[in-house]
Amino acid sequence: MLESILGVAEQPNIITLGTAVTYMVAAIVLGILLGIVYMLITERSKRSVGFIVSLVMLPAVVAIVIVLVGSNVARAFSIAGVFSLVRFRSVPGEGKDISLVFLAMASGLACGLGYLTLAFAVTVLLGIIVIICFKVLAALFKDESKQLRILIPEDMDYAGAFDDLFAQYTNKVHLEKVKTTNMGTLFELTYQVAMKADANEKKFIDELRCRNGNLTIMLCKKEQNIEKL
């Protein structure tokens, strides 16, 4: 650092091509492992191919940057200036996505510095911990409740209109929201219901249709977010 301030040229670290390739290959392997972790803790319908590719490539990119910087302070500031010009715009991700990004960066940093054994040990250990935590949380906080939406005519009194059907087919029911629709000619009721184990959903919907004048009824699985529990 003192030599750089005094204007004395620093001697850059000599990294052979073979060493650089070894670091990059190790980083890519770690990125693939992180991609596998992401797929194991994310539902198929919510997986992002772009994010998986990013997890695979990010450790290698970080590793090659560290290799290029070496101990040259001036070069480090130059690269930092270049990266500061880049603006990243993306859809806000979940906590697990951000955690995997930081883990990918840490793995790439360790590979770029030559600590390959440490990089593999940390990535594998933390990856296993992440998988176990999400699987355990998913089992502990499993929610079987569903969302029921019923359209009814504006002149129908919805208070208690379906109580007997709810008692017959559900274990738990909660009215979450009431709103008008179709220029105020209809009411949309949104319930959170827990169906009984032996309940026939088709028969339940058919009986609801007889009550609401055969208007639209939707019964769907409520999305589960472990991170908010």
179-192 pLDDT tens trace: 999 888 999 999 99
89 and 164 inside one domain: no
Find residue 218's DSSP bridge partners. 149
Range of the domain at 205: 146-221
Cα(199)–Cα(54) distance, integer angstroms? 44
Q: Which residues of 158-190 are buried (b: 16+ CB within 10 A; e: fewer)?
A: eeeebeebbeebbeebeeeeeeeeeeeebbbbe
Kindly state whether residues 171 and 71 are assigned to the same domain.
no
Is a pLDDT exceeding 50 seen at residue 224? no
Of 104, 125, 140, at which residue does a domain stop?
Answer: 140
The residue ranking higher by pLDDT, 91 or 125, is 125
Shared domain check, 110 and 193 = no
Q: Does 229 score more than 50 pLDDT?
A: no
Residues 121, 45 within the same domain: yes
pLDDT in tens, 116-146: 999 999 999 999 999 998 888 777 766 678 8
Strand 170-181 and strand 146-153: pairing?
unpaired
Statement to judge: residues 74 and 135 lie in one domain: yes
φ, ψ for residue 5, nearest 5 deg: -65, -40
- pLDDT of res. 5: 36
Give the Cα separation of 31 and 37 in Å (integer). 10
Q: Looking at the structure, do residues 55 and 107 belong to the same domain, yes or no?
A: yes
Rounded-to-integer distance, Cα 228 and Cα 213, Å = 37
Residue 191: predicted pLDDT: 93
Q: Assess contact for 134 and 143: CB atoms under 8 A.
A: no
Q: What is the pLDDT of residue 19?
A: 86
Q: Calculate the average pLDDT of the chain.
A: 81
Q: Domain check: are 82 and 166 in the same one?
A: no
Q: Are residues 22 and 122 in the same domain?
A: yes
Number of structural domains in the chain: 2
Assess whether 132 and 163 both reside in one domain: no
Total count of residues recorded for the chain: 229
**Domain C-terminal end among 116, 140, 164:** 140
The least confident of 43-47, 54-58, 84-88, 126-130 is: 84-88
In a domain, 229, yes or no: no
For the chain, what percent of residues have pLDDT higher than 70? 78
pLDDT reading at 83 higher than 60:
no
Residues 137, 139, 141, 146, Cα dihedral to 10° = 140
Residue listed under structure tokens 């960066």: 105
More confident residue, 90 or 27: 27
pTM above 0.75, yes or no: no
Q: Is residue 30 part of a domain?
A: yes
- Distance, CA of 185 to CA of 19 (rounded, Å): 72
Q: Which of 93, 119, 140 is the last residue of a domain?
A: 140
Where residue 196 sits, what CATH number does that domain have? 3.30.70.240
**Considering the domain boundaries, does residue 228 fall inside one?**
no
Taking the mean position of all CA atoms in its chain, how far away is CA 120?
A: 23
In this prediction, residue 10 carries a pLDDT of 45
Taking the C-alpha atoms of residue 66 and residue 115, their distance in angstroms, rounded to an integer, is 12
Is 60 exceeded by the pLDDT of residue 88?
Answer: no
- Per-residue pLDDT at 99 exceeds 60: yes
Task: Please tell me the predicted confidence (pLDDT) of residue 162.
Answer: 92
Residue 101 domain-assigned (yes or no): yes
Claim to verify: residue 129 and residue 155 sit in the same structural domain: no
Eight-class DSSP state of 172: E
One domain for residues 200 and 105: no
Cβ contact 127:34 at 8 Å: yes
Residue 227 lies in a domain: no
Residue among 156, 147, 163, 145 at smallest CA distance from 214: 156
pLDDT at res. 80: 57
Is residue 95 assigned to a domain?
Answer: yes
Q: What percent of the chain has pLDDT over 90?
A: 38
Mean pLDDT for 81-105 is 67
Q: Whole-angstrom Cα distance, residue 125 to residue 98?
A: 18
